[in-house]
Structure 1
Amino acid sequence: MKDLTDGKRLLPVNPLNAGLPSGEATTDRISGIRLSLVYLPLHSAISDAKVLAGRQKPLTEIAFLFCEIKTEQGYEGIGYSYSKRAGGPGQYKHACEIADSAIGEDPNDIGRLWEKLVWAGASVGRSGLSTQAIAAFDIALWDLKARRAELPLAKLLGAHRDSVRCYNTSGGYLSMSIDEVKERITMALEQGIGAIKLKVGQPDPMIDLKRIAAVREHIGENVPLAIDANQQWDRTTALRFGRIAEQFNLTWIEEPLDAYDYEGHAALARDLATPIATGEMLTSVAEHYELIRHDSVDFIQPDAPRVGGITPFLKICALAEHKKLKLAPHYCMEIHLHLTAAYGSEPWVEHFEWSEAMFEDRLEVNEGRMIVPNRPGLGLTLSEQMRAWTSEHVVFGRF
Structure 2
Amino acid sequence: MARRRVRLFMGELHYRPEIRLHTASSGDVPTLRELYLVLDEDGQRVACGAVRTNVEYLTGIPEMTVRDEAQHVLPLLPWDAQLEELRAIVEQQRDLSVTIRALIDTTLFDGLSRCAGVPLCVYLGGRFTGGYATNQSLFWGDDATLIDLARAYVARGFADLKLRVGVEDFERDLRRLARLRNELGDGVTLSVDVNGHWSEREAEERIERLTPLDLAYVEQPIPAGDWDAMARLARRSTIPLTLDESVASMGDVRELARRRIPAIAHVKLAKLGGVGPVVEAGRLLKAAGIELMVGQMNEGTVATAAAVHCAMALQPHRGELYGADGLLDDPANGLTYSSGAVEIGNGPGLGIAFHEQDAELLWEMTV
With the length of structure 2 as denominator, give the TM-score of the two structures: 0.86
**1:269 counterpart = 2:234:** yes
Identity %: 19
- 2:69 maps to which residue? 94
Q: 1:58 aligns with which of 4, 9, 28?
A: 28
2:350 to 356, 378, 385: 378
2:349 equivalent to 1:347? no
Deviation readout 1:246-272 (Å, 9 max, x if unpaired): 112211111111122322222221111
CA deviation after TM superposition for structure 1 residue 285, in Å: 1.1
Is the 1:358–1:385 Cα contact (8 Å) retained in structure 2? no
Q: Helix, strand or coil for the counterpart of 1:210?
A: helix
- Within the candidate set 201, 211, 229, 2:176 is matched to 211
Change (3 A) 1:206 1:57: closer
- 1:74 Cα deviation after fit: 5.0
Contact 2:48–2:111 under 8 Å retained in 1: yes
Q: How many residues get paired?
A: 351
Q: Which amino acid aligns with 1:370?
A: V
Match of 2:59 in 1: none
* Residues 362-395 of structure 1, C-alpha deviations (whole Å, 9 max, x = no match): 42334323234212211221236741xx3x5101
What value does the CA root-mean-square deviation take over the aligned residues?
A: 2.6
More divergent stretch after superposition (297-306 vs 269-278): 297-306
For 1:245-394, list aligned pairs within 5 A: 245-280=210-245, 282-296=247-261, 298-331=263-296, 332=299, 333-352=304-323, 353=325, 355=327, 357-383=329-355, 386-387=358-359, 390=360, 393-394=362-363
Question: For residues 2 and 269 of structure 2, what CA distance do their matches in structure 1 show?
Answer: 25
* Partner of residue 79 from structure 1, selected from 27, 31, 49: 49
Bigger drift between 313-322 and 102-111 goes to 102-111
3-state DSSP of counterpart to 2:347: coil
Query: What's the CA shift string for 1:105-127, capped at 9, x where partnerless?
Result: 210236413324x24xx2xxx6x
Q: Deviations over 1:159-196 (max 9, x none)?
A: 35614221001xx122x222211111111122232310
Letter of the structure 1 residue corresponding to residue 340 of structure 2:
G
Q: Distance in 1 between matches of 2:23 and 2:253?
A: 24
1:297, distance to aligned residue in structure 2 (A): 5.3
C-alpha distance 58-202 of structure 1, shift in aligned 2 (>3 A): closer
Using the TM superposition, give the Cα deviation of residue 68 of structure 1 relative to its aligned residue in structure 2, in angstroms. 0.9
Deviations 1:300-358 (A, max 9, x none): 11210231111111111111111222222332432211101111454323313255632
Q: Distance in 1 between matches of 2:28 and 2:245?
A: 19
Q: CA 1:350/1:383 → structure 2, altered by over 3 Å: closer, same or farther?
A: same
Could you tell me which runs of 5 or more consecutive residues in structure 2 were left unpaired when the two chains were aligned. Answer: 57-61
CA distance in 2, matches of 1:310, 1:253: 26
Structure index of larger Rg: 1
* Separation of aligned partners in 2, 1:41 and 1:367: 23
Letter in 1 for 2:335: L
Name 2:80's counterpart in structure 1.
104
Q: How far apart in 2 are the matches of 1:394 and 1:223?
A: 46
TM-score of the superposed pair, with normalisation by structure 1: 0.80
Structure 2 SS opposite 1:95: helix
Higher relative contact order (CA 8 A, sep 6+): 2
Q: Give the gaps of 5 or more residues in structure 1.
A: 1-27, 51-55
Which of the residues 184, 198, 207 maps onto 2:149? 184
- Is 1:234–2:206 an aligned residue pair? no
Return the offset for 1:198: 0.4
Residue of structure 2 equivalent to 1:38: 11
Partner AA of 1:98 in structure 2: V
